[in-house]
Chain A
Amino acid sequence: MFSQSGKTGPILLTLALAAGMVLLFVPGVSEAKHQSAWVFDPSSARSYERLGDVQVELLPSRILAVRVMAAAVARLPCAADVVEIESGTSRRGLQPLSSALARTIASQAPAARCDLWREGNDLVALPRDVHPVAVLYFKERWQDAGIDLSEIRSWPAWLAACERYEQYWSAQGTRSAAVELPRGNAAIVMLLLQAKGSHLEAGLLQPAVVETIAEYAAAVRRPTANGLKGSDSFGVGREPFRRVEQSALAMLTGDLGAMIAPDWRVGQIRQLIPGLSARLGLIPFPAEGKTPTWGGTGAGVPIWNSPSPGMQILSRLLADRQGQKLRYTRDGVVPVTVAQNPDLVESSTVDDYFNGQATGQLWLKLAQNIGPVPVSGEATAAIQRELNAAVRAGVAAARTSSGQSDDFIKRVVREQLQAGQRRVDLAVAPTRQRSDGSPP
């Protein structure tokens, strides 16, 4: 039909040529002058925005990781100069940081946090946080039960206090759960880190791992209180933490006495629930000298990008002390350089939200005692199932043993882990050389 008119063909051809010429001469998006960063955390996004000339795109963590890996595999530069990824995500899409920048980071951030972002001997990301974990509790409820949490120094003492708390409230005719543990690996890894400082990569059958899971199983076997579902569901979960509003509401209504919370979660509660002001207390994990961390974010430069714009952004971010201070004050995220720069949290030494408690000092002390993170991204995937299975077996054993036989729980956990160890190829877990030269 077009060919019948005889004119349509030349007209279309002319239009196509004209469109092609326009495309050739119109300046592309790539000529934009701004530097750019992809991040998944709104509080982190604000620190880039403070730099003034960095365009920030906020993306879901997984989408961001896929974009970075896709560009890396295709051997193409990423559209962002800097990208932030979560620990546990592959770091292979990031290039080694310049030696000068890596030296500056190593001199300011704890070695354990730098180890988290090493590929071989290279540091591939600037660690953005320390994420120490503490116990957040509702003061009145523990005081009413006659328990002074500040005296708790060990896990057995903590578990005994929880028992007493629940018995007291039960006698009052109120169901109140002593503590909300994070679910799944979050809890287990925290306990392993804090109580034992052990490394899963060295094997599932280490006594420290077995004992910790047995303790964890004993801790979550108690009947659950209103709104706090299923103690054994703590062993495995869709998300490590419930929504902060749900947990805070449970505290306000008396369903919950305490929760285990990293710095950012405490920051969220402070921001979202002003009604809890002056009613909360914060204590370190109940064991001497060690503290766990939860998660972590690293900022790096995509592997095929020109390094200088990204390195420049990272240097400026690291040097922006005011930005780090603001992030702590507003969002509760303890700066990664806090051990070297204690003044970054000093302003919050007296914390009105915590009724004058020196929470800044507590975070500082915890951040200075951060231990190594035991599980690499690859190992996590291989080990996760077996740990969860051991937790479930341990919880079931704890229920049948009526809390009398710790050895029985330990034996069940050990058998489960033994079966799991045969299935887990620990060889895929890379053993990273730590910054102090010691084997992991």
Chain B
Amino acid sequence: MTTAMSPADLRSNRWMLAPFVVLFLLVAGWPLARSIWWAVHDGRSLTSPPVFTLTRHLSRIGSDSALWFAVANTLAFTVIFVGLLLPIALGLALLLNSGRVIARGALRTLFFATHLIGPVYVAGIVIGIVSGNATGGSADALNEPLLAMPIVLVACLWMAAGWAMTYFLAALQSVDGELLDAAQMDGAGAAAVFRHITWPAIRATVLFVGFVAAAGALQLFELPFVLFQGPGPGNAALTLSMYLFSVAFEQGDLGYATAIGWLLALIVTAVSAAALRKQAETP
């Protein structure tokens, strides 16, 4: 049994939140505030006091062709990645959920394994396959600008499909079995059952997985970085995070890099807001 606290009690017990508030301000609040400060200051000189330079950063963001190429590359990758990931993962989940497959547990583990080993190892395996050490392929495939993003895309799908499939499997297993049985008894075909019963039941999960995958894709860094040791042939695999890294650590312009970081945060926030709105609309 729970007893509601009176407003007076709540007010007097607010101090109990203090440890959390202090910790939050230290661990999250201070770095956030500091990054905003950096984003509007010129961080190129480490020895002289930073100069307020919001307009310079804004005008540079506006005219920086490499930045906008990275933004376009990242957004295109995100759209294609999420667009392919969802049907592939859902297909795998439906297959494993159908009961027609043997060794389902082993397959589930196998599909999920790439997510467990992480992007660096996945990139290593992909280099082995593409460079021909494992398959007799062509080492120069990694030097082709037109192949750079497709290679990254396939590697990312390989890594993420098992992860997304796990969510979909859980969602599929929570679909009301009685409804499915009733529909089948009423003569509904597989497509009709999926469209009218399964899909409405798992739609929220699909949206959630799509949103998380999009947020991850927008921050793509490790895989292309390990695959190409940089932005790839002709910068073809340049992503926003890689460009941020390059500006901060190769060009040494921490202020501008932080401004790019905030641009990335804004894009992720916009995508999140759109996903949340869509989720709220889901019945």
Pair count A-B, CB < 8 A: 95
| Contact pick for B249, options A65, A392, A425, CB 8 Å | A65
Q: Do B69 and A385 touch (CB < 8 A)?
A: yes
Chain A residue with Cβ nearest B232:
A238
B 111-151 binary contact with A (CB < 8 Å = 1; else 0) = 00000000000000000000000000011101111000000
Given A92-B45, A388-B234, A425-B63, residue A66 in contact with residue B142 (CB < 8 A): no
Q: Shortest beta-carbon distance, A113 to chain B, in Å?
A: 20
Q: Do B46 and A93 touch (CB < 8 A)?
A: yes
Chain A residue with Cβ nearest B64:
A425
| Contact pick for A382, options B66, B234, B254, CB 8 Å | B66
B210 CB within 8 Å of chain A = no
Q: Shortest beta-carbon distance, B81 to chain A, in Å?
A: 21
Given A183-B143, A184-B233, A230-B140, residue A303 in contact with residue B250 (CB < 8 A): no
Q: Shortest beta-carbon distance, A91 to chain B, in Å?
A: 7
In the complex the two chains form, what is the Cα distance from A424 to B63 in whole Å? 8
Q: Do B234 and A69 touch (CB < 8 A)?
A: no
Q: How many chain B residues touch the partner (CB < 8 A)?
A: 35
Given A235-B234, A238-B233, A384-B235, residue A229 in contact with residue B63 (CB < 8 A): no
Q: Shortest beta-carbon distance, A46 to chain B, in Å?
A: 24
Q: Do B65 and A233 touch (CB < 8 A)?
A: no
Contacts of A423 in B (CB 8 A): 63, 65
Chain B residue with Cβ nearest A239:
B229
- Chain B at the A interface: SS class: helix
Q: Do A385 and B254 touch (CB < 8 A)?
A: no
B166 CB within 8 Å of chain A = no
In the complex the two chains form, what is the Cα distance from A381 to B161 in whole Å? 34
A377 CB within 8 Å of chain B = yes
A237 CB within 8 Å of chain B = yes
Q: Do B66 and A238 touch (CB < 8 A)?
A: no
Q: Which of B44, B60, B66, B247 counts the most A-chain CB atoms under 10 A from its CB?
A: B66
Chain B residues within 8 Å of A, Cβ to Cβ: 43-47, 60, 63-66, 69, 138-140, 142-145, 228-230, 232-236, 246-254
- List 11 other contacts, CB 8 Å, given A238-B233, A385-B69: A69-B249, A90-B249, A90-B251, A93-B46, A229-B143, A236-B143, A238-B143, A246-B139, A384-B235, A388-B235, A423-B65
28 A-B interface contacts by CB (under 8 A): A69-B249, A88-B250, A90-B249, A90-B250, A90-B251, A90-B253, A91-B252, A92-B45, A92-B46, A183-B233, A184-B234, A229-B138, A233-B143, A233-B144, A237-B233, A239-B143, A303-B46, A303-B47, A377-B252, A378-B253, A381-B66, A381-B246, A385-B65, A392-B234, A423-B65, A425-B63, A425-B64, A428-B60
